Structure formats: structure tokens, C-alpha cells
Amino acid sequence: MQFIDLKAQYQALKSEIDANIQSVLDSAQFIGGSYVKELETQLAAFVGRRHCITCANGTDALQIAFMIAGIGEGDAVFCPDMTFISSTEPAKMLGAASIFCDITPDTYNLAPASLERQIRAVLAEGRLIPKAVIAVDILGNPCDYDAIAPICEQYGLTLIEDAAQSFGASYKARKACSFGHIATTSFFPAKPLGCYGDGGAVFTDDDEADNLCRSICVHGKGPGGKYDNVRIGMNSRLDHLQAAILLPKLKALREYELDARQTVAERYNAAFAGKLVTPFVAEGYTSAWAQYALLARDGTQRDKIVAHLTEKGIPNMIYYPTPQHALPVFQKEPAYGETFKNANDYCARTFSLPMHPYLTEEEQQTVINAVLEAL
Ligand SMILES: *Cc1c(COP(=O)(O)O)cnc(C)c1O
């Protein structure tokens, strides 16, 4: 059994993927190319944005977003404590401070009340300039944008959606990647829409941000092309081969994979209701189910379940064992007295089970039985 079964997905899509790969090989166009253009058009249409710009990976996409937002030395970037380091790592590289906020106890996403407390604390201290909020749709479930967007507006902050885990999710009929001034995603193989290497994308409705993004991605190119460099940029692009692979995968995601993930999640929910804390997806939200995470009673019970699963050969993961504020690299970031109660609690109790659209009912029953045995 696989935690995420990319082999089963490839078998299902083999003829289309192989044909696309072959046509890239025949064209001998490896950088840029028609599949990249076609993919950007389809991605923008799918999420409901005016512009999609593909790039080399999800971390680059975030760095580009931070560069568009003009983030640098002396700026504060606000971020949920429960995420992957990529959410603020590029902002740190640009000289900003990562200001972590607690998560909500039910969705595990950025808690609007903690965000507002941290913004006020930064303003009261007067040392850093609040610049941007990076809202992470953790585990595939979108953030509470109706609460977060007005806070960003009130304090004049750029809202960036980190949709690396939530491609395909939706909130009140709007798709993930459509929130904030800029949204970013990742096509790392294990994400809901993954390629066969690294890839990422930036989304925006703002024409100026689109132009700036396309310049940053190509060494800060100017109107005269790539040897007319007008700013310091990056070298960040999605390969033609990766775009060729992503097109049939996007079609499968749209046509049946999201539904299949939902079915798997519902079966787990039914099996574990009342026994463990099952994921909470509020009314009006659809998760992309990048991960299926449960909370045990406490850390001791979690460790016992995980040990039993491992002993039975059932793949399992912990997303994430350590909240951002407790990582060695962020020990010196200002916390302004925030205790990160919910993030600490979540990290101690969480564990994730195999979750992908090709998980059979039989395989899933094996996982469920093993978890119930451990209880
Ligand atoms: C995976 C991930 C990223 C980074 O994506 P890469 O393509 O691996 O660089 C950023 N943010 C979150 C929340 C992620 O899970």
C-alpha cells in the first residue's frame, strides 16, 4: 500500500501522459512551449483568475509573490504557525521577519483573532512594518477568507494565499488559488495536482502583478527581452515536459479525482467518528484532501497508533511534528507573547493516513482496522 499512490495514477493516465511526453521529445522544445501556454490558460480558467504564471516550484512561487509585494528588510510577514517552512522562508531570505500566528482548534488554519493580535503587537512595538499575510490552506482545506481579507484590508496588508496543498478545493463557490492579491501553488508530486519533478504557479487578477511576475521569473527582463534586465529577478520556469504531464492530470483531477478523494475522506470520517477527532470542513467549504489528518486523545495515544500502523506496514505521516515558532531556525523571531496553544496541541496529537484518489475500499478497510485495533 502507498501513502500516495502515484503508480496507480500513472497506470490510469498512461496513454495520455506517454503521448504528451513523446510529443515534447519529438518537438525537442524543452523550455517554454505550447503545453506550458495551454496549461497556464487551463489553470487560470479552472481556478477563476485572470492570470496564471507557472514557475519552478511552490517555494519560488511564494518568493515571487513576496517580491511582487515589495517585501524586504524591516517588514513583517504574518503566517500560521502550522505550515511547511516554505510559507515564509522566501520572505526571510528577502530580509523580512516571520511573525507566526496561532491556528484555530477546529480547522487548523490561521486564526483571525491571533492574526489581529500579532498585527497590533507589531504596530505597538514600532520596529517592523506589517506588510503581508500568508494564508495557508492547510491539509487542503481553504482558510476563512471572509474573516482574514477584511483584516488585511483594515491594516493595509497584501494577502497571499498559499494553496500548495489545496489545489482543487473551494470556498463558497470560489476555487482555491483565487483568494488574495496573489495566490501560489506547488506541483510537487505528492500535492493534489503534482507533476513528475518540481513545478509551481502564481495566480493573480492584477495585470501589473502579472507583468512583474513574468519579468521576475526571467532574470528581471524588461520590455526589450531577456537581455534587457531592468530588475534583479530569478530563473524560475516550469519545463515543457512537466506541463505536458500536468495537462492530463488536471483533467483527471477535474473529472473524478476530487470526488474520489471526497469519498475516501467520508469513509474514514464514518469509521472514526466518536473515536478520534476527525477533520472539520465547515459548511460551504470543499477540501482537496491533500492529507487526511486525525487527532488522537494525546501524544501518548498518537505515538501508540503510529507505532502500530508502522508495525503492520501501513504508511503514515505526521504533518507536522513541530510548529514553525519552535523550529531551530525561527527561535529568534518575535512572538509577542503568543503561546501558540492550538498549534502546539495539534502537533502533539496529529497523524495522517494514506489518502489518494486510487485508494481501494479494501485497502482503506485495512487501514481502518489497524487504527481501530490500536485504540
Ligand atoms: C509543498 C508546500 C510548499 C512548497 O512547495 P514546493 O513546490 O515543494 O517548493 C509551500 N507551502 C506549503 C504549505 C506546502 O505544503
CA–CA separation, 162 vs 85, rounded Å? 12
CA 86 / ligand 1 centre spacing (Å): 6
- Chain-centroid distance, C-alpha 172: 19
CA 192 / ligand 1 centre spacing (Å): 12
Question: At 165, which amino acid appears?
Answer: Q
Of 208, 338, 249, nearest in space to 10 by CA:
249
User: What number does the ligand 1 atom closest to the CA of 200 have?
Assistant: 7
User: What number does the ligand 1 atom closest to the CA of 290 have?
Assistant: 15
Q: Which residue has the cell 506550458?
A: 36
In the chain, how long is the greatest CA-to-CA distance? 66
Q: Mutation test of ligand 1: which of 63, 110, 188 has the most ligand atoms closer than 8 Å to its C-beta?
A: 188
Q: Mutation test of ligand 1: which of 55, 162, 177, 289 has the most ligand atoms closer than 8 Å to its C-beta?
A: 162
Return the residue whose CA atom lies nearest to atom 10 of ligand 1: 86
User: What number does the ligand 1 atom closest to the CA of 61 have?
Assistant: 9
CA 289 / ligand 1 centre spacing (Å): 15
pTM of the complete model: 0.98
Q: Mutation test of ligand 1: which of 89, 165, 186, 291 has the most ligand atoms closer than 8 Å to its C-beta?
A: 186
C-alpha cell of residue 357 = 484518489
C-alpha cell of residue 103 = 491556528
CA 217 / ligand 1 centre spacing (Å): 18
C-alpha cell of residue 273 = 467518528
What pLDDT score was predicted for residue 280?
97
Return the residue whose CA atom lies nearest to atom 5 of ligand 1: 58
By CB neighbour count within 10 A (0-12 exposed, 13-18 middle, 19+ buried), where does 331 fall?
exposed
Cα–Cα distances (Å) from 29 to 22, 37, 248, in that order, read 11, 13, 19
Angle value at C-alpha 27, between 49 and 253, nearest 5 degrees: 35
HSE (CB half, 13 Å, CA atoms) of 168?
Answer: 28
Q: Which residue has the cell 505528492?
A: 190
* Residues within 6 Å of ligand 1 by CB: 57-59, 83-84, 86-87, 136, 162, 164-165, 186, 188, 198, 200
C-alpha cell of residue 195 = 507533476
82-109: b (≥16 Cβ within 10 Å) or e = bbbbbbbbbbbebebbbbbbbbbeebbb
Cis status of the peptide bond prior to 320, with omega within 30 of 0:
yes
Return the residue whose CA atom lies nearest to atom 4 of ligand 1: 58
CA 369 / ligand 1 centre spacing (Å): 32
Return the residue whose CA atom lies nearest to atom 6 of ligand 1: 58
CA–CA separation, 95 vs 185, rounded Å? 23
User: What number does the ligand 1 atom closest to the CA of 87 have?
Assistant: 11
HSE (CB half, 13 Å, CA atoms) of 350?
Answer: 24
Give residue-wise pLDDT tens across range 268-308: 999 999 999 999 999 999 999 999 999 999 999 999 999 99
Task: Determine the straight-line distance between the first and last CA of the chain, rounded to whole angstroms.
Answer: 21
User: What number does the ligand 1 atom closest to the CA of 136 have?
Assistant: 13
Low-confidence ranges of the chain (pLDDT < 70): none
Domains, the chain, in order of start with CATH, read 6-247 (3.40.640.10), 256-374 (3.90.1150.10)
Q: Which residues pair with 136 in a beta bridge?
A: 162
Phi/psi for 292 (5° steps) reads -110, 105
